[in-house]
Homo-oligomer: A and B are copies of this chain.
Amino acid sequence: MTPLARYLPILDWGRSYTGAQMSSDLIAAVIVTIMLIPQSLAYALLAGLPPEAGIYASIVPILLYAVFGTSRVLAVGPVAVVSLMTAVAVGQVAEQGTIGYALAALSLALLSGVMLLAMGLLRLGFLANFLSHPVIAGFITASGVLIAASQLKHILGVPAQGHTLLEMAASLAAHGAETSLLTLAIGAGAVAFLFWVRKGLKPLLLRLGLPPGLADFAVKAGPVGAVVATTVLVQAYGLHTQGVAIVGAVPQSLPPLTLPSFSLELLNTLLVPALLISVIGFVESVSVAQTLAARKRQRIDPDQELIGLGAANLGAAFTGGFPVTGGFARSVVNYDAGAETPAAGAFTAAGLAIAALFLTPLVYFLPKATLAATIIVAVLSLVDFSILKRTWVYSKADFLAVAATLLMTLGLGVEAGVSAGVIMSLLLHLYKTSRPHVAEVGRVPGTEHFRNIRRHKVETSPGLLSLRIDESLYFVNARFLENLVLDRLARDKDLRNVVLMCSAVNEIDYSALENLEAINQRLKEQGIGLHLSEVKGPVMDRLQKTHFLEELNGRVYLSQFHAWQELSAA
């Protein structure tokens, strides 16, 4: 691959673009555009921004991702979790509804874009691996709950606020008496309708004889139905004069050229939130892209994905948007609708541009409660507490990491939650490796194979102690091994030879080397041999650079069986 093609995947698929692909892409684009109009407005509302920001954030970013991204079907734009994180981060520096707020959202997209781009050029895609699957699952579930809770104020029509469950509950309780019953009726009705569309509409349509493809499309169009119905209702009865909040005037315009604020103080405050948004957004996007690519036996390149998402966020920063990433729902719809290349994304962008120019007057009477309802129904499908049970059964350490993430996210907000999850899972990993499993092994009779004497019927030999160390030796556990060997030494007076079976030792760092030297010294003083077996190539290479092997009071055996043959005869 030429360097240019590597950084511009569009050169790859663009060269062989066919008419058949184009018609598939066009059909997909129409379906995705229809779905994205209400979704974009809703996520702008969630991020605390004017509705048009959601549409702008879906146009130029999609185009840029089509040029730089490696996934064929990923759809980039505002997504629920990132929109919530944007609201939290920007809410710390500006008041919703002010110019400063919109400006800070642009700066957040700028920072996030620069970080993603830098990580991509430095090939730091592996950093995303620091988020374990259970931590991600816990975070998504807790964020879903938080997002749904944050929309209750629009359903009730009250001016509540807060970034944690407790704050939201307290604020809702304080404003409860101001509830607008008309708004509540519209909001609750829309929620009920949308849930019914998800569960009950498709079976009904199939029973009525509709082909499955069309029934699926009807389900996807459900939110549009709710939008149309409630907009008509408000306009017909003038409900906006009776306390129902509506979207109101949205400018008819293509995405404007905008400049984010470059205030150093602002950028400094947004640094950590931007990093978290970048990493979370990247992880969400890559998971979706990998899942969809795998279905078609395609591969994506995580480092180039960083570049694609970085470009998309820079695009958002300069065209009136806010942080974006590859979304699950929109990408799945794109895939299901038959998109074959990123050109489908470009067509979607065109569709949204047309909507921004000509269709915005139609949403004037759209109640905010309807948008809140679409958000609630969308995010509640992400909520899945079963991760708690599954990790509890499998591993208490994973369970602890999930529980910490969930509780911290709900109790202290998204940034604290995801940080706690990462730190907790790293510390638990270090703790586990600090007390490695060490098994005394014996020979499985009649074979050259050695297993734990406590789990298998094996032969042992008097005076010979064979220990299989089930962990790399490094500073965190270096002293552990020394203590263990010296304890065994104190208990077993007939010991003549100790073999450390190193089949599971993937590294010996400098600290562990010093502890091995100390063990060797102590055994030598007592006339006991110290031997190693099954030392791996990379570990052996490194030991050979030291004096340890010369000073070793014993030998290094290629296999534990060789050690056994020679030392059990002794």
Contacts and interface: CB of A to CB of B under 8 A. Distances in A.
A506 B471 CA distance: 6
Nearest to A540: B455
A195 interface: no
A511 B130 CA distance: 11
A435 interface: yes
A325 to B, nearest CB: 18
A130 B509 contact: no
B126 A434 contact: yes
A430 to B, nearest CB: 7
Copies in the complex: 2
Nearest to A422: B475
B509 A398 contact: yes
Given A435-B126, A475-B133, A542 B395 contact: yes
Nearest to A471: B506
A367 interface: no
Contacts of A504: 503-506, 536
Given A434-B129, A447-B559, A537-B452, A546 B510 contact: no
B448 A510 contact: no
A131 interface: yes
A436 interface: yes
Given A449-B561, A503-B504, A546 B394 contact: yes
Contacts of A97: none
Contact of A514 (B133, B455, B471, B542): B133
Contacts of A108: none
B542 A394 contact: yes
A490 B299 CA distance: 10
Interface string A377-398: 0000000000000110111011
A104 B538 CA distance: 51
A198 interface: no
A458 B141 CA distance: 50
A393 B294 contact: no
A474 interface: yes
A561 B509 contact: no
Contact of A477 (B129, B299, B486): B129
A537 B439 contact: yes
A266 to B, nearest CB: 27
For the complex, would chain A's binding face be called helix, strand, loop or mixed by DSSP majority? helix
A491 interface: no
Most chain B beta carbons < 10 A, residue from A126, A398, A444, A511: A511
A426 interface: yes
Interface in A130-180: 130-135
Contacts of A398: 509-511
Contacts of A506: 436-437, 470-471, 504
A425 B478 CA distance: 14
A81 to B, nearest CB: 19
A530 to B, nearest CB: 16
A274 to B, nearest CB: 21
A415 interface: no
Contacts of A537: 439, 452, 455
A545 interface: yes
B434 A395 contact: no
Contacts of A486: 299
B132 A509 contact: yes
A503 B429 CA distance: 19
Interface of A: 126, 129-135, 294, 299, 390-391, 393-395, 397-398, 425-426, 429-430, 432-437, 439, 444, 447-449, 451-452, 455, 470-472, 474-480, 486, 490, 503-507, 509-511, 513-514, 518, 522, 536-538, 542, 545-546, 558-559, 561
29 contacts: A126-B434, A129-B434, A129-B476, A129-B477, A131-B475, A132-B474, A132-B475, A132-B510, A132-B511, A133-B478, A133-B514, A134-B510, A135-B475, A294-B518, A393-B545, A394-B513, A394-B542, A395-B509, A397-B509, A425-B475, A429-B475, A436-B506, A437-B506, A439-B537, A447-B561, A449-B559, A470-B536, A470-B538, A504-B536
Closest 3 CB pairs of A and B: A132-B475, A448-B448, A133-B511
Given A132-B475, A448-B561, A504-B504, 19 more contacts: A130-B476, A131-B475, A133-B511, A393-B545, A393-B546, A394-B545, A394-B546, A395-B542, A429-B474, A429-B476, A429-B509, A433-B472, A437-B536, A437-B538, A439-B536, A447-B448, A449-B558, A449-B559, A470-B538
